[in-house]
Amino acid sequence: MIVADKKPLAEVLASIGKAGRVLVIGCDTCVAECAAGGRKEVALTASALRIALEKEGRRVEVREACLDRQCVNEFLPEAAEDMAWAERIVSLGCGAGVQALARFYPESDVVPGLNTQFIGTTVQPGVWVEECSGCGDCKLAFFGAVCPVTRCSKRLLNGPCGGSKGGKCEVSPEVDCAWQLIYDRLAALGLLARLREFVPPADWSASHSGRPRTIIREDRRI
């Protein structure tokens, strides 16, 4: 899922500018799971804005809405009335959600209420970890399903670097060495021989550094 966190309230307030009708609109999928932009966070953000605006002596109406998925066009018409009403829209979707909403409603002034961070997993309540960089050429089969592109600070495909101490990364001692995790997992699976295989260079042209990417599935097009 996409993991994001909330922008500071002062930044959101500044992005509202002089608008008198503000819509806070969330997304009830990834950013709800990471407690940044779901229905509950929409209510909290809207309340915080109302209080802050009242303290400033401003008369601003703040409405709340939440879509099942802000990044999928099919769900966006549901917000039509609120979007038409608002002078400024604070999106609590991820960066893709903000852009999808703005593209679908070209007359609307949409600003982000979140800082989108990474593709990750919930490892325990309140803890999210980056697991995938969307490199476009997945090589997890070599690595016992631990991603060195994302979890090794040096992105080594033929690691380790040799600097790890006590199972921790030499670059970021607060995180586990990805190559230690890869070794431990392959050892537990009896697959250590896999480490003898040379991993061919990744096709980075398929990654974000190659170009902005689009996926087209002809069998799903209508």
Is-cis flag, bond preceding 160, omega within 30?
yes
CA-to-CA separations, 128 to 100, 150, 175, in angstroms, rounded: 24, 14, 13
Residue among 86 and 181 whose Cβ is closer to ligand SF4: 181
Residue among 96 and 161 whose Cβ is closer to ligand SF4: 161
Residue among 92 and 177 whose Cβ is closer to ligand SF4: 177
Q: Output the smallest distance, CB 13 to ligand SF4, in A.
A: 36
Q: Output the smallest distance, CB 133 to ligand SF4, in A.
A: 4
Residue among 79 and 182 whose Cβ is closer to ligand SF4: 182
Residue among 27 and 135 whose Cβ is closer to ligand SF4: 135
**How many Å from the N-terminal Cα to the C-terminal Cα in the chain?**
26
Q: Output the smallest distance, CB 93 to ligand SF4, in A.
A: 22
Residues that bind ligand SF4 in the complex, under the rule CB under 6 A = 132-135, 138-140, 147, 149-150, 152-154, 156, 159-161, 163-164, 169-171, 177-179
Q: Output the smallest distance, CB 165 to ligand SF4, in A.
A: 8
Q: Which of 44, 48, 36, 47 is nearest to 7 (CA)?
A: 36
Q: Output the smallest distance, CB 144 to ligand SF4, in A.
A: 12
d(CA 103, CA 106): 5
Q: Which of 178, 163, 171, 186 is nearest to 129 (CA)?
A: 178
Q: Which of 91, 170, 179, 174 is nearest to 129 (CA)?
A: 174
